[in-house]
């Protein structure tokens, strides 16, 4: 999804981060099937916490949206992130023998807590455009990663199921809608706000790399 306009500038600002994500052993392991299943299990559990907080951030962003159709779009995505992706994870819960009680009582890993806290604080404290730029990498990077991995495929059926979710045309359509909104917002924002949007986008792109790295290492609190 090569883009013109401000979204294209954002992609260029963090493209080196995206390249590092593609080269990370968590993702290369998804494609060739060599990823430790325990690392994938760790990722699934952490992602449940992340998705819930991501949905909260989207709901806050929807409340700040200056257009009615954008209010609808982000509230719809908030619901979708809880329904569609939680349904996918529930199928993994059966595979891994996870219980709802275990998920509710387990504290998030340090990176998960830091990333979601950044999203929520930005959504709450900053204007609509800045809040949108902070959640954009989660949309866009997952779509790009999904397409790359879908072209490769995975011999592991659990990994392939995940790849097919984010490599789908339906998911790409959702991402294109958000990118179009980002470009429209940027045209209405002043230079200082655009710089802040760029900073948020690069920061959360780095958090995306950190999230996969956290899962690969099965990160725990050091003390």
Per-residue pLDDT tens over the stretch 84-110: 666 766 777 778 887 777 777 789 999
pLDDT at 88: 63
Between residues 105 and 212, the one the model is more confident about:
212
Other Cβ atoms closer than 10 A to 62: 19
Q: Largest Cα–Cα distance in the chain?
A: 51
What is the DSSP secondary-structure string of 17-42? HHHHHHHSHHHHHHHHS-S-HHHHHH
Residue 192 pLDDT exceeds 70: no
- Over residues 56-68, the pLDDT tens digits come to 999 999 999 999 9
- pLDDT the model gives residue 151: 96
CB atoms within 10 A of CB 168: 15
CB crowding 113-130: b at 16 or more within 10 Å, else e: bebbebbbebbeebebbb
Q: What is the pLDDT of residue 1?
A: 62
Task: Give pLDDT tens digits for 5-58.
Answer: 999 999 999 999 999 999 999 999 999 999 999 999 999 889 988 999 999 999
Supply the DSSP string of 149-212, one letter for each residue. HHHH--SSHHHHHHHHHHTSHHHHHHHHHHHHHHHHHHHHS-HHHHHHHHHHHHHHHHHHHHHH
Nearest Cα to Cα of residue 59 among 73, 43, 48: 73
Q: What share of the chain is helix, strand, coil (3-state, %, to 5)?
A: 85, 0, 15
- Per the residue annotation, which of 85, 130, 138, 144 is the catalytic one? 138
Please give the pLDDT value at position 197: 95
pLDDT value, residue 168 = 87
Q: What confidence score (pLDDT) does residue 87 get? A: 73
Among this protein's residues, is 208 annotated catalytic? Answer: yes
- CB-based contacts of 179, cutoff 8 Å, min separation 6: 1, 3, 7, 136, 139, 140
Q: Fill in the DSSP letter of residue 126.
A: S
Confidence at residue 102, expressed as pLDDT on a 0 to 100 scale: 73
What is the model's pTM? 0.93
pLDDT tens, residue by residue, 121-143? 999 999 999 999 999 999 999 99
Residues 6+ apart with CB under 8 A from 160: 153, 154
Q: Which of 46, 130, 189, 208 is catalytic?
A: 208
């Amino acid at each position: 999804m090569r883009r013109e306009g401000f979204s294209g500038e954002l992609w260029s600002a963090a493209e080196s981060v995206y390249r590092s994500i593609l080269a990370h052993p968590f993702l290369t392991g998804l494609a060739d099937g060599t990823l430790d299943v325990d690392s994938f299990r760790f990722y699934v559990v952490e992602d449940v916490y992340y998705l819930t907080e991501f949905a909260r951030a989207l709901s806050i962003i929807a409340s700040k949206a200056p257009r009615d159709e954008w209010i609808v779009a982000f509230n719809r995505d908030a619901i979708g992130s809880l329904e569609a992706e939680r349904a996918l994870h529930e199928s993994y819960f059966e595979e891994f023998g996870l219980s709802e009680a275990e998920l509710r009582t387990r504290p998030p890993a340090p990176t998960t807590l830091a990333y979601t806290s950044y999203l929520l604080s930005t959504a709450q404290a900053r204007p609509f455009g800045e809040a949108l730029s902070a959640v954009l990498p989660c949309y866009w990077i997952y779509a790009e990663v999904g397409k790359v991995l879908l072209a490769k495929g995975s011999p592991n059926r659990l990994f392939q199921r995940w790849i097919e979710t984010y490599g789908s045309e339906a998911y790409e359509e959702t991402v294109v809608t958000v990118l179009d909104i980002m470009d429209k917002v940027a045209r209405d924002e002043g230079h200082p706000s655009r710089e802040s949007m760029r900073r948020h986008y690069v920061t959360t792109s780095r958090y995306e790399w950190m999230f996969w790295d956290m899962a690969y290492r099965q990160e725990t609190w050091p003390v």
